[in-house]
Amino acid sequence: MSSGSRRLTILQYLRLKWHLALRAILHIWVRSRVFPEPLSNAGIDPDTPLCYIMDTYALSSLLILDQVCEQKQLVRPLYPIKGAEHLGGRAWAALRRLKGIFVRRHTSRRSSEMLKNMAQYALEHPEFEMQLVPVSILVGRAPDKENSLVKVLFSEGWDVGGRLGRLFSTWVNGRGTCVYMGTPLSLRELVDEKSDAAIAVRKLYRLARTQLRQTRETAIGPDLSHRRTLFKQVIASDQVQATMAARLESEDTTQEKLRTEAERAVREIAANYSYTAVRFSDVLLTWFWSRIFNGVELNHFKRFDENASGKEIIYVPCHRSHIDYLLLSYLLYINGHVPPHIAAGSNLNLPVLGQFIRRCGAFFLRRSFRKDPLYAAVFNEYLSIILGQGVAIEYFIEGGRSRTGRLLPPKGGMLQMTVRAYMRQPKKPIIFQPVYIGYEQLVEGNSYISELGGKEKKSESLSDLFSVFGILRRNYGKVHVNFGEPIYLDSLLQSHDKKWSELYTEDKPDWLPELVDGLATSIMTNINGAADVNPVNLLATSLLATAKHALPREELEYQLDLCLKLLKSTPSSASISITKLGVKEIIEYGQELGIIEVRQHTLGDILFVPEKSAVQLTYFRNNIAHLFALPSVIASCFLVRSELSRARVFQLFKQIYPYLRKELFLPWSDEDAKNILAEHLEVFNSLGLITGNRILKRTGGGSQAAGGLGLLGRGMLHTFERYFITLSALANKGSGALSSSELEELCILYAQRISLLHEFDAPEFYDKTLFRQFITNLASEGIVSEDDDGKLMFDKKLLAMSAGARLVMSTELRHGIIQVASGNI
């Protein structure tokens, strides 16, 4: 920006030249990254006079800001304000200044003289407008260039540093500087609302400080330096004191013993967040990701970034691997957000290492504490306090890592505690942020297969995480992290009780369990609604549907193309991302990863899945099973029949959809799903997979379309088989003969035997979680019920449901299941 039109005094001119000379020296080693990206998202009007507002004056910060503004072609702070030169020889103001040489302290001044003059001028000149842009300059915030422990030690924090500390910080961390441009405040709106300049400036201070603090909290987290004060707050809270009083009345103990027990509990639970530890772990993780992954892709982060300011964020990702929480924290950090506090199992609270992850933001909880009311009170109070402080939190509502690739049924414990904590102290609005994490290879793949096959599950511990370092030489492809649609807690509370905020803080409303269940389901649905479809998912979906996990090259290319067309043509969430690779590139990529191989043949190449990889690939097929659920239901209707009435397809769909919706967390209600099914049928017609309207017919045998339809239908066959196994076991034993747990064990045995006789031996086929979930869903749909002895009762509705199996399963397979269930095989 030219300064030719700006009149400078000799003193201002000399000061400007001095500052520019210092800036040139400073930027020999300083490199800055500007947020938001792109900068146009900040909403700065280039045609309106502008003044930057810093929280605390520091010469290095001012020079960094001037350099950034010159690079981005913005108004430069070192020059007079264009159109308001008479207000001063600069375009910046600071809310606070520090005094002292070695020990620096904030001055006690109430407001900036420059801002007072601006406000007074605006009052006297109604046509005058000024943008006031809060700016935060954080030295050492961007981690992507850091590889030194010295840099970590001099990183940005909440403490007031002296000149020497700032000098060292800029020297060692200058290449990791972040500049955050805030949302402009209108001086005209401030003075129009307040008729007094001093009052307008005080309001400006409040608004600017709020915005600057929110920016700082987003970047490095809230000020958590007063840990002892937090401990005292927890112990002194009404909830903890009431629990201690109840124990005193009912037990032979003392107040001092109970206080010691409570203090021990809060020390066991509480994080000891250290930004230095986070920076240090970032150095390690940057190296680690580059060794095992080909890259990490982040999608839909901008939407989250725009909504996050001023909110309390609860991150709720899916749980596929120990890598998950490291990866999410890392991505948040490099994109300008503070890593969250993560709820970790107490089994990870190990000597030395437990302290390190505690400093990285982990807080610990026991697996169950229903029998320890004092611990429960301490934990609830701790959670409530850190929520009120604005600390971002992360937890996995599945409870553990999925061994099958499907989402696990959610557990509502942490959700209920979060909701109740917010109802007690509703400070910042809470957003639940679902996150989908998709891998192309899993570091724990072999152990998952062993556990599904019956090997005793190994207790999750930190040693599992460090065992990852033994596989550094392997290529695990790319990782895809998608941010789903957020869920706003205030809206949910309003929908259940418009006067929820008036409830007594310790009340547990009757509607709370329903709210928590609905919230848990919505989170899981939104995670699946943000799925990423990668090449491995598509190859697994196509090849595992064949008997020998092999296809000629031309047929595999057709099937991959068909899958991509269905994904792009059928109704789905806008948060889903799909690989940009073409079908030939997908096949080449699969060969590079070693998940498929080529067997050359005179009549054409055969592409197949090696036996050692087939079972692991079921995991990646299951990652996107929900996206192909409706196409598979339609296609399965034509596995054993060449034609079927449209009405019969809808009848089968009506029977089976409620169970698919709950198992796969599909987004449509039972009623809405009918319209979605109709849209899918139109797409099938347009792709030449079926013909007709009232009577639906598959295309003639031998065509690629017929083969593609068959492979789509077999994609959901294992699910239908599990359903039929359960129904057959119930029907064979009779009403009132089995409890839920007995039925579950019996179904697992039947499925294992059928897997050996009729299918390739895939342990996920007889996963107990899937059977347990289906039995639970049968009860919720009214197909079965428990008598007084806990035995399952049923009537003819169960038999009617079994009849649908004739449409999708071959006679041989149906009879095989019935024979196993009756004990004849």
> pLDDT tens digits for 45-84?
988 999 999 988 888 889 999 999 999 889 999 998 887 7
Residue 26 pLDDT exceeds 90: no
- Return the H-helix or E-strand segment holding 417: helix 413-424
Residue 4 pLDDT exceeds 60: no
Q: Model's pTM, two decimal places?
A: 0.82
Task: Give the per-residue pLDDT at 825.
Answer: 58
Task: Give the per-residue pLDDT at 38.
Answer: 76
Q: Of 642, 646, 562, 618, which Cα lies nearest the Cα of 762?
A: 618
Residue 703 pLDDT exceeds 50: yes
**pLDDT band at residue 734, thresholds of 50, 70 and 90?**
very high
What are the structure tokens assigned to 821, written together? 């269930």
pLDDT tens-digit readout, 273-307: 877 788 788 888 888 888 889 999 999 998 998 88
Task: Give the per-residue pLDDT at 615.
Answer: 87
Task: Give the per-residue pLDDT at 756.
Answer: 82
12-21, 300-309, 471-480, 668-677: which is most confident: 668-677
Residue 665 pLDDT exceeds 80: yes
Task: Give the per-residue pLDDT at 504.
Answer: 59
- Would you list the domain boundaries of the chain? 10-220, 273-528, 534-620, 717-822
Task: Give the per-residue pLDDT at 1.
Answer: 43
Task: Give the per-residue pLDDT at 210.
Answer: 87
- Return the H-helix or E-strand segment holding 786: strand 784-786
CB 342 within 8 A of CB 361: yes
Q: What are phi and psi of 365, to 5 degrees?
A: -140, 145
DSSP letter string, 755-771: HHHHS---GGGG-HHHH
- Return the H-helix or E-strand segment holding 705: helix 704-714
Q: How far apart are CA 62 and CA 68, in angstroms?
A: 10
Per-residue burial over 726-749, b = 16 or more CB atoms within 10 Å of its CB, e = otherwise: bbbbbbbbebeebebeebbebbbe
* CATH code assigned to 273-528: 3.40.1130.10
- Could you give the residue ranges of the DSSP H alpha helices within 90-186? 113-124, 149-153, 163-173
Q: List the beta bridge partners of residue 689.
A: none
Contacts of 730 (CB under 8 A, 6+ apart): 738, 743, 784, 792, 794, 798
pLDDT tens-digit readout, 539-575: 999 999 998 999 999 999 999 999 999 999 988 888 9
- Tell me which of 162-166, 392-396, 746-750 is least confident: 162-166
User: What is the average pLDDT across 191-218?
Assistant: 85
Which comes out higher in pLDDT, residue 714 or 167? 714
CB 433 within 8 A of CB 304: yes
* CATH code assigned to 717-822: 1.10.10
**pLDDT band at residue 467, thresholds of 50, 70 and 90?**
low
Question: Do 534-620 and 717-822 agree at the fold level?
Answer: yes
What are the structure tokens assigned to 62, written together? 């001012």
pLDDT tens-digit readout, 798-811: 888 888 777 888 88
Rg (CA), the chain: 31
Q: How far apart are CA 139 and CA 446, in angstroms?
A: 43
What are the structure tokens assigned to 683, written together? 């797409």
Q: Of 3.40.50.2300, 3.90.550.10, 1.10.132.20, 1.10.10.10, which CATH number belongs to 534-620?
A: 1.10.10.10
Q: What are phi and psi of 55, to 5 degrees?
A: -70, -55
Q: List the beta bridge partners of residue 133.
A: 52
Task: Give the per-residue pLDDT at 376.
Answer: 93
Q: Of 103, 77, 87, 107, which Cα lies nearest the Cα of 95?
A: 107
Task: Give the per-residue pLDDT at 636.
Answer: 94
- Tell me which of 19-23, 620-624, 641-645 is least confident: 19-23
Residue 678 CB burial class (10 angstroms; 0-12, 13-18, ≥19): exposed
**pLDDT band at residue 147, thresholds of 50, 70 and 90?**
very low
Query: Using CA of residue 738, residue 450, residue 458, residue 521, what is the dihedral sign?
Result: negative
- What pairing do the DSSP bridges indicate for beta strands 532-533 and 550-552? unpaired
**pLDDT band at residue 765, thresholds of 50, 70 and 90?**
confident
Task: Give the per-residue pLDDT at 815.
Answer: 84
Q: How far apart are CA 630 and CA 683, in angstroms?
A: 12
Residue 126 pLDDT exceeds 60: yes
pLDDT tens-digit readout, 242-267: 999 999 998 988 999 999 999 999 99
Task: Give the per-residue pLDDT at 172.
Answer: 55
